[in-house]
Structure 1
Amino acid sequence: MTSKIIYNTDWAKENISMPELLRWFGHEPVRSSQRGNEYWYISPFRYEKEPSFHTSYLGGKWIWNDFGRGDVQGNGTVIGFMQLHENVDVKGALQLLKNMFPNRGQAVSLEALRLMPLFKNVELIEPNIFSSEGSERLVIQNIKEGIQNRALIGYLAGDRKIDHKLAKRYLRTIQYENTETGQRYHTLGFVNESGDYECRDKYFKGILKSPSATDRKAAKDISYIPGNDQSRVAVFEGFMDFLTVLTIKKTEVLPVDVIVLNMVNMRKRALDFIRSFTYEQIYTFFDNDRAGEKTTQLFAEELGDRVLPQNHLYRGFKDYNHYLQKGYF
C-alpha cells in the first residue's frame, strides 16, 4: 500500500532541491563547485551582471543566500524562495510546490541521483518539457469564457494589478478536478497553440490538458494572437506580462501580432514560429534575469537587428508585471 504524501515544510526541504527549482523558473547556474553541491546564479530578483545568488547543500538540505539583497526571507529555504519569488505566504508556497512537483516524495529525483557516485557516468533522461509533471491527475471539468469567479478577479486585480475587464477577452475560467482526492478548483486559463491551457491563480501554476485531447499528455507550447499589423510582433515570456501591457496602455488589443512563450524553454519553438513570418520588427519583453538575458541574446543572434528589446521599460524589476505591481507607471 502506497503511503500518503504529507505536503508540509519538511516535505519541501527533503524532496526539492534549489537547483531544480531555479531551473523550473528558467535560471541556470553561472558556476558551480566540482562536488556539485554549491552553485552561483545571476539573482532571480533583479537585473545584474555578476552572480550574487548562492545556493548549497548543507546539513541535509538546500539553503540559499542573495548577497545582493543583504537579507534572506524564510532563512534561505525552498519555502522562503517561493515566498519571495511568487509573493505568497507559507501556505501559498506549499500549494505552488505541490502542484509543481505533485509526485515528489514517491521516488528519488534526477537531481539526487546525479549526486550519487553510482550514477556519476550514467546518462539520465530528463522529463519531457512539453508535459506537466502529475498533470494527468488534474482533469478539466468545465471551461467558461471570461473571468467568472470572484477569487480569480481578486487575484488578477489585487495581486497582479491587471485590469480584469481588459484581460477577460484572453482568459478562461477553468474548473478542474484532482482525480485522486475528488476536490475541485477554479483557475485562470490561457490557451496555447496545442489547444491546452496555461493556468495560473494564487495557488496553482501549471498546464491543463484540453478535454478534447484524449490520446496525449498536456503539451507545453507557445501562444499566438494575430494582430492587424503583421509586419511587427511583440514577444512575451509569460501571459501576465502581455496582460500588463494591455493594462498600462488601457486597451483590449495590441495592433501587432503577439507571441507568448509561456516558458523560457519554448524560445526555440518561438524562433521557428517567427521565421514562418516576415516580421520587420520584433519587440521582446523578457525578464530581467539571467534566463531572460540569454533569451534576448539568442533572439538577437538568430534574428538580427529586427529584434528590439523592451526590458529597459521595467529596468530594476524582474518583469513587466512586477513593475506594474509596484505602481511604477
Structure 2
Amino acid sequence: MSPIISYNAQWAKENISLPDLLSAFGHDPVSVTKHGYEYWYNSPFRYEKEPSFHTSYLGGKWIWNDFGRGDVQGNGNVIGFLQLHENVTVSEALQILRNLFPHKGQGVLWSKVNKLPLFQDISLSQKELGAAPAENNLEVTKVREQVWDKSLIGYLAGERSIDYQLALKYLKHISYTNKKTGKTYQTLGFENESGDYECRDKFFKGILKSPNAEDRNTAKDISYIPGSEKNSVAVFEGFMDFLTVLTLKKVPVLPVDVIVLNMVNMRRRAIDFIKQSNYEHIYTFFDNDQSGEKTTTFFKEELGQGVKPQNHLYQEFKDYNQYLQARKG
C-alpha cells in the first residue's frame, strides 16, 4: 500500500518552510543570509519600510520573530504564524497547510499508523511521491458568474447561515484543478481588486489566481464595492461578515461603500484607499480578538474620530458570522 501522510502539528513543524508559506501569501524577503537558513521581511502584520520580521531554520524547524510587535504573540512556529496571519484556530491552520502543501512530508505505511501518537486526531491522506509544491498545482480552469453547485449553496445557507439568494450577487463559481492529480474541484470565489479570488467552501480556504493573470504571482488584495452614499464606508475583515450584514438586514446591497480586507495585513492597503476619499463615517466590523482590537486601534490612529467600531453588535462572538450562526441555530 502507498505511504500516507499524517497532517498533525508535528508534520507542520517538521515539513513546512516559513519562507514557502510567506511566499504563498505574497510576502517576499528583503534579505536572505546564512545560505538560505535566515530571512528578513517587512512585517506581514503592518506597514513598514525597514524589515523587522525574521525567520530562521533552527533545531530542525522554522521559527520566527516579529521584533516590531509588543505582545507575546510576536514569535513562534509555522502554526502560530498562520493563526495570527489568518485569524484561525490550530485545526483550521492545519487544514490550510494541508491544502497548500499536501505532498510535503514523509509518508508512513498503514500498518504503522496506529502506533502514531494521538492517532484518533490526525488527518490522513495518500502520498504522491515526487510531487511539486502545492501552491504551483492549483489552477483555475473556469469562472462562472452564477453559482450552480448545490454543495456550495448548501455551505453558504447551512454551515454559514447566509441568505444565498442575496450572497450570490457577489460570488463566482470557481472550478480549479490540481495539476498533479488531475482532480477538479468547485469553490466559491470573491474577487479582489487585483482580479484574483478569495475562495471558501467546506474543505478549502485560500486564494486562487485569475486565469487571465499569466505574468504575475497570486495577489492578495482588498475588495471594494461602491455604494450610493459616498460619505460613509463599511470595512470588514472577510467577505463572510459582509454577507452576514446583508443577511441580517435582508437587503441585496448596502447603501455605503464597502471594503473587505480579505486578510488583516491588508489594513495598510485599506487605509491608503480610504484616505483617497472624503468619508465622514468609517464603520469597522473587525473580529473580537487581539488582532481585531489592534486593527481597530490602527484605524483610529490613522483615520481619527470618523472610525466607528461595530463589533459591539456581536460582542459575545469572535465575528459577525459566528453571531449569525448562533442566532439561526
The alignment's TM-score, normalised by the length of structure 1, stands at 0.67
* 1:17/1:62 contact within 8 Å kept: no
Q: Residues 35-74 of structure 1 correspond to what in structure 2 (within 5 A)?
A: none
Is the aligned partner of 1:319 residue 2:319? yes
The aligned residue for residue 251 of structure 2 is: 251
Report % sequence identity: 60
Shift of residue 16, structure 1, vs aligned partner = 5.8
| Cα distance in 2 between the residues matched to 1:211 and 1:223 | 18
Q: Which residue of 2 aligns with 1:161?
A: 161
Displacement of 1:144 after TM fit? Answer: 0.9
Separation in structure 2 between the aligned mates of residue 204 and residue 159 of structure 1, nearest angstrom: 14
- Counterpart of 1:163 in structure 2: which amino acid? D
Is 1:286–2:286 an aligned residue pair? yes
Q: Please give the alpha-carbon distance, in whole angstroms, between the structure 1 residues aligned to 2:201 and 2:309.
A: 28
Aligned positions of 1:139-178 closer than 5 A: 139-178=139-178
**Number of residue pairs matched?**
253
Letter in 1 for 2:213: A
**Structure 1 residues not aligned, in runs of 5+:** 29-34, 40-49, 64-79, 87-92, 107-132
Displacement of 1:95 in angstroms is 4.5
Equivalent residues of 1:190, 1:239 under 8 A apart: yes
- Tell me by how many angstroms 1:15 deviates: 3.6
Correspondence for 2:261? 261
Q: CA RMSD in A?
A: 3.6
Contact 2:12 2:79 survives alignment (8 Å): no
Match of 2:189 in 1: 189
Counterpart amino acid of 2:201? D
Q: Does 1:6 align with 2:5?
A: yes
User: How far 1:82 sits from its partner (Å)?
Assistant: 4.0
Indicate conservation of the 8 Å contact 2:96/2:206, yes or no: no
- TM-score normalized with structure 2 length: 0.67
* 1:272 match: 272
Task: Identify if the C-alpha distance between structure 1 residues 12 and 316 changes in structure 2 by more than 3 Å, giving closer, same or farther.
Answer: same
Q: How does 1:111-260 map to 2 (within 5 A)?
A: 134-260=134-260
The 3 A distance-change label for structure 1 pair 17 and 287 is farther
* CA shift for structure 1 position 145: 1.3
Shift of 1:273: 0.5
Give, in whole Å, the separation in 1 of the partners of 2:328 and 2:315: 11
Contact (CA 8 Å) 1:27, 1:290: kept in 2 or not? no
Kindly indicate whether the alpha-carbon contact (under 8 Å) linking 2:79 and 2:90 is maintained by their aligned counterparts in 1. no
Deviations 1:237-271 (A, max 9, x none): 00000000000001110000000000001000000
Is the alpha carbon distance of 1:223 and 1:155 closer, same or farther for their aligned partners in structure 2, counting shifts above 3 Å?
Answer: same
Instruction: Say whether the 8 Å CA contact 1:167–1:243 is kept in structure 2.
Output: yes
- Structure 2 segments unaligned to the other structure (5+ residues): 26-43, 47-58, 66-70, 81-87, 107-132
Give 1:327 shift.
1.0
Q: Say if 1:145 and 1:171, in contact at 8 Å, map to a contact too.
A: yes
CA contact (8 A) 1:288 1:315 kept: yes
Aligned to 1:126: none
CA drift at 1:149: 0.5
SS, match of residue 161 in structure 1: coil
| CA deviation string 1:215-258 (max 9, x = no partner) | 01110000000000111000000000000000000111000000
For 1:13 and 1:228, the matched residues in 2 are separated by 48
Change over 3 Å in CA distance of 1:285–1:81 after alignment to 2: closer
Question: What secondary structure is seen at the aligned counterpart in 2 of 1:6?
Answer: strand
Q: Deviations over 1:32-66 (max 9, x none)?
A: xxx999x9xxxxxxxxxx98x9x999xxx989xxx
Q: Distance in 2 between matches of 1:282 and 1:149?
A: 36
Amino acid at match of 1:285: F
Q: Post-superposition, which runs of at least 4 consecutive aligned residues in structure 1 deviate over 6 A? A: none
**Tell me, what secondary structure is at the counterpart of 1:296?**
helix
Paired with 1:256 and 1:192, the residues of 2 have a C-alpha distance of 18
Tell whether the 8 Å contact from 1:286 to 1:293 is kept in structure 2 after alignment.
yes
Contact 2:99–2:204, Cα closer than 8 Å, also in 1: yes
Q: Is the 8 A contact 1:27 1:291 kept in 2?
A: no
C-alpha distance in 2, partners of 1:319/1:209? 27
CA distance in 2, matches of 1:225, 1:310: 19
Residue 240 of structure 1 aligns to a residue whose secondary structure is: helix
CA distance in 2, matches of 1:328, 1:4: 43
SS for the counterpart of 2:157 is helix
